[in-house]
Structure 1
Amino acid sequence: MPVIDVTTKPEDLTIAVTAEFAHPVHRVWQAYTDPRQLERFWGPPTWPATFVQWDHSVGGRAIYFMTGPKGEKSYGGWEFLEIEPESRFVVLDFFADEQGNQLEDFAVSRMEMTFQPTAQGSRMTSLATFTSLEALEQVLAMGVIEGTTAAMGQIDAVLEGLRAYAQGKGTRVELLSDTLVRITRLIEGPQDLVWRAHNDPELIRQWMLGPDGWELTTCDVATAVGDSYRYAWAPVDDNAGAPFGFEGELLLSEAPHRAVTTERMTGTDGPQTVNDLHLYEEDGATLVTTLIEYPDLGTREMILGTGMAEGMEMSYARLERLLRG
């Protein structure tokens, strides 16, 4: 996690966030001034950002929106006030409407981003100064500190590149909070094919099998938001275990890079999770990221303790073999 310090000073109306990276200033500056890179870590994991306007010049503006798990959108913007290449930039940071106009009665701040070299790489400091104590308290109540820290936890994959970040590391499970888990796996193959493999029943039946010795007996795929899906598995050998299944609803579909579903074990009332699937391609490889939100810590521990990650790794290995043909 690159964030090393978050300091709030109500007396100064400021929030300061400091992060350190094992990369030079030049590389970090690139990530913060290229909208396609920036949107991969600017929003919290379950509210990814999309920049729709970008004019990185003094007087220019950047407009973005963040999309929640049910398709909710929250807009924001920057007006660039000062820019010193590979050193600092200052923006007026504001909430916006769908047209990019600044919203009245919402917090506004002057945000200064500074980039400095260190012996190990670089340090970035973001200092946000608000117009009033009410504005500062408003963003704190919205969870800006938690959101910023979680968002920054995504930057390593951007700075390192997907293969350096994930190749050969298998299926990785990261505990982001008591109820939020991130599972990542690099798949050698283009994003479009990986998306198709997650949505085409004929392909799903060939790889989404979990541990060896199991078969997918039911594969009802949700094709539109609001549709229900159902998957069921059974052991090939009757003595290998009891059949089971999962079902849920498709909440959001943004082909070919994001799908959000609910999930619960078939035949039960819960507990239910929200599974947020993201695909990102770089140089012919696709990073599959699944964010799972559990209702509580106990449910998280129970489900992870079933060997879920090991079964996912076996399935992903099959998927890679399938894509290689």
Structure 2
Amino acid sequence: MPVTSVDKDLEELTMTIVADFPVTVRRLWDAYVDPRQLERFWGPPEWPATFTRHDIYPGGRSEYYMTGPDGARSGGYWEYLSVLEGSSFEILDGFTDEDGRPDPGMPTMRAVFSFEETDSGARLTTTTYFTSLDELERLIGMGMEEGTRSAMAQIDDVLADLRSFAADRATAAQLLSDTQVRFTRILHGTPRQVWDAHHEPELLNRWFHGPDGWALVGCRVAPAPGETTRFEWAPDDGVEGEAFALTGQLLETDPPHREVFTETMEGLDAPPTRNEQTLTAVEDGTLMTLVITYDSADLRETILGTGMVDGMEAGYRRLEAEVLTSP
């Protein structure tokens, strides 16, 4: 059990939880910034968590829900007030209603997560600040302390599982719902390097070729929200296939952390997807997380069935070889 102490201060209106781990601070930090790892221990075993958004940077946001044994859901969100990589982050921690909106009927707390090195490994100190005694007592009565202990009892197994989250793993797709898929890949470069490789035409021409034997023949990157993107590929001489293009609109951008854009195949009579890409620094490079929302489960399966994941992996291997390892 990693939790070593829980202190409730009724005068200061705080609850402080201290937990110790036999790993490095970096390993512990990465478990919190990687949604694949975090959702394996954030909720109690009977209420596992699913993170549909996880953007750890000042001004960023995380959104998640926990699913109970009977299928009921309890949602929450974090708004990041500050982030010191590898050291601490401070959030506003709130609940969401069944539509995913902040629930005004539930408390919103401020919480600080502090990571520090110890003689035996790493220590995480989580201090939650409440706005009133009634709020503190209400959440304790809802089982906040017991739920935290139960959830954190799972973290040791996650920290020990180095294989599932290793930097040499290929692009993976995880179904989050009938219409949402999360794609993940660790890329050997900084978030800024990976961001630039996705936005500078000269760099895109070096790796964003599509399948082997194809070339990027058209490249328009949206400079600002509301502008459109268009990427066109054509087969090399002697390669079978017809040219195709992907078009979309940039909705949000926050370099080098996050961007949101729509995307559809030109000429295809289908609703566009909503793509949310996040770049997060981890020990071995940058964790690329892409959450795609499709109009339907059928559309999701159709697009995944085209070999999309293999194509993404081929592109990322080329990105690392042609751009990220270049001087």
| TM-score, L = length of structure 1 | 0.61
Counterpart of 2:204 in structure 1 is 204
Distance 1:74 1:189 in 2: 39
Counterpart of 2:314 in structure 1 is 314
CA RMSD in angstroms comes to 4.3
Counterpart of 1:244 in structure 2 is 244
Of 102, 108, 117, the match for 1:77: 108
**1:204–1:86: structure 2 CA closer, same or farther, 3 Å change rule?**
closer
Counterpart of 1:45 in structure 2 is 52
**1:198–1:73: structure 2 CA closer, same or farther, 3 Å change rule?**
farther
The answer to whether residue 292 in structure 2 is matched with residue 298 in structure 1 is no
The answer to whether residue 272 in structure 2 is matched with residue 272 in structure 1 is yes
CA contact (8 A) 2:34 2:287 kept: no
Distance 2:171 2:209 in 1: 15
- After TM superposition, give the deviation of residue 281 of structure 1 in Å: 1.0
Distance 1:53 1:117 in 2: 27
SS at match of 2:206: helix
Matches within 5 A, 1:124-163: 159=159
**1:278–1:88: structure 2 CA closer, same or farther, 3 Å change rule?**
closer
Could you tell me which amino acid in structure 1 is paired with residue 202 of structure 2?
Answer: E
Distance 2:263 2:252 in 1: 13
**1:246–1:117: structure 2 CA closer, same or farther, 3 Å change rule?**
closer
| TM-score, L = length of structure 2 | 0.60
- After TM superposition, give the deviation of residue 90 of structure 1 in Å: 7.1
The answer to whether residue 216 in structure 2 is matched with residue 184 in structure 1 is no
Matches within 5 A, 1:110-129: 110=140, 112-114=144-146, 115-116=148-149, 122-123=153-154
Count of aligned positions:
240
Unaligned runs of 5+ in 2: 1-18, 43-49, 54-60, 63-77, 84-89, 96-100, 112-122
**1:156–1:232: structure 2 CA closer, same or farther, 3 Å change rule?**
farther
- After TM superposition, give the deviation of residue 297 of structure 1 in Å: 0.5
The answer to whether residue 10 in structure 2 is matched with residue 26 in structure 1 is no
**1:251–1:185: structure 2 CA closer, same or farther, 3 Å change rule?**
same
Deviations 1:278-324 (A, max 9, x none): 11112350111111101101000000000011111110001101211
Distance 1:194 1:278 in 2: 11
**1:249–1:89: structure 2 CA closer, same or farther, 3 Å change rule?**
same
**1:262–1:239: structure 2 CA closer, same or farther, 3 Å change rule?**
same
Distance 2:253 2:109 in 1: 28
- After TM superposition, give the deviation of residue 64 of structure 1 in Å: 5.4
Deviations 1:61-98 (A, max 9, x none): 953589xxxxx999973167xxxx9899776599xxxx
The answer to whether residue 92 in structure 2 is matched with residue 63 in structure 1 is yes
Unaligned runs of 5+ in 1: 1-24, 55-60, 67-71, 95-101, 103-107, 125-154
- After TM superposition, give the deviation of residue 209 of structure 1 in Å: 1.4
Distance 2:125 2:305 in 1: 46
SS at match of 1:303: helix
- After TM superposition, give the deviation of residue 268 of structure 1 in Å: 3.6
Distance 2:80 2:180 in 1: 25
CA contact (8 A) 1:201 1:219 kept: yes
- Identical aligned residues as a percent: 34
